[in-house]
Amino acid sequence: MNLNLFFSVGAVYTLAMFVQRIAGFGSGIVAIIILPYLIGSHAHTAAFTNIFSAFSSTYLALKYRQNCRWRLFVPILCGSFIATIFAVRFLSKASFGVLEKLLGAVLLILSLYFLFLKGKITIPPSRRNGFLTGLCGGTLNGLFSTGGPPVVIYLLGATAGYAEYLATIQGYFAFNNTYATLIRFLNGQIDASILPGVAGGFLGMILGNFLGGRVIKYVPDEKIFLKVIYCVMALSGIMMLL
């Protein structure tokens, strides 16, 4: 067993799920900021995130299936499925340095959105807009497993209430992350060599969720915690671009 991969992925996803448990957001962001520098691969980092997200979102999609508007995310999936193929192929060929610059730009843009524009942008629901949203989300997902924000913006304006939004977006993530995992497998980004990381990551997620559950009651203001995450994202993005 590759113990370095086991402990590296395990440690990162312990921290990632700790943040996710407290803030309700951020596990994938934490992983893509730290893990590529420990294992030397953006592709494998994205693969781990897709695998773990596929399991967690499938569980939630089944749990909340009665509130899910399945047809609503079909146009998004169509766009995402197309974009994911090309993004994953690009990821397989691009150098670490090029991907670092792209990731830095993505992190900076996302952090600025979350800090200043979150909740202020809406996308009118239509098949065309859903497809275009999927193209954008699929590109980000294929590159760095960060395809959630465009879909979140779209579905927030297309669903009636939080319960319907939560169920629908988890249904989308279940299909999309499973598909992305398959595409990465076909492109050689997932093979037996990453299995120790998968095992370590699953254990890390369990531990991080447990620790976050114990600590969350001592966090005075979750909004401040979120702003710290966004600022770390912005700083990380700037450092990658320099």
- Domain count within the chain: 1
Give the whole-angstrom CA distance, residue 181 versus residue 96: 21
At residue 1, the pLDDT reads 66
Which three-class secondary structure state does DSSP give residue 26? coil
Query: pLDDT exceeding 70 applies to what percent of the chain?
Result: 98
- pTM metric for this prediction: 0.90
Give the whole-angstrom CA distance, residue 18 versus residue 20: 5
- Computed over every residue of the chain, the mean pLDDT equals 92
Mean pLDDT of 113-142: 92
Answer whether residue 186 is part of any domain.
no
pLDDT digits (tens, 9 = 90+) for 59-106: 989 999 999 999 999 999 999 999 999 999 999 999 999 999 999 999
Mean pLDDT of 148-173: 91
At residue 45, the pLDDT reads 94
Answer whether residue 145 is part of any domain.
yes
Answer whether residue 75 is part of any domain.
yes
Answer whether residue 151 is part of any domain.
yes
At residue 227, the pLDDT reads 85
Q: DSSP states of 188-207 as a string?
A: TSSSGGGHHHHHHHHHHHHH
183-189 long-range Cβ contacts below 8 angstroms, 24+ apart: 183/84, 183/85, 183/88, 183/142, 184/43, 184/46, 184/47, 184/50, 184/88, 187/88, 187/89, 187/92, 188/92, 189/43, 189/44, 189/46, 189/47, 189/88, 189/91, 189/92
Answer whether residue 69 is part of any domain.
yes
Residue ranges making up the domain that contains 67: 3-181+192-241
Answer whether residue 187 is part of any domain.
no
At residue 47, the pLDDT reads 95
Answer whether residue 219 is part of any domain.
yes
Answer whether residue 198 is part of any domain.
yes
At residue 215, the pLDDT reads 87
Residue that is written with structure tokens 């996302």 in the block? 110
Check whether 137 has a pLDDT greater than 80: yes
Which three-class secondary structure state does DSSP give residue 119? coil
At residue 118, the pLDDT reads 83
Name, of 15-24, 119-128, 156-165, 168-177, the range with top average pLDDT.
Answer: 168-177
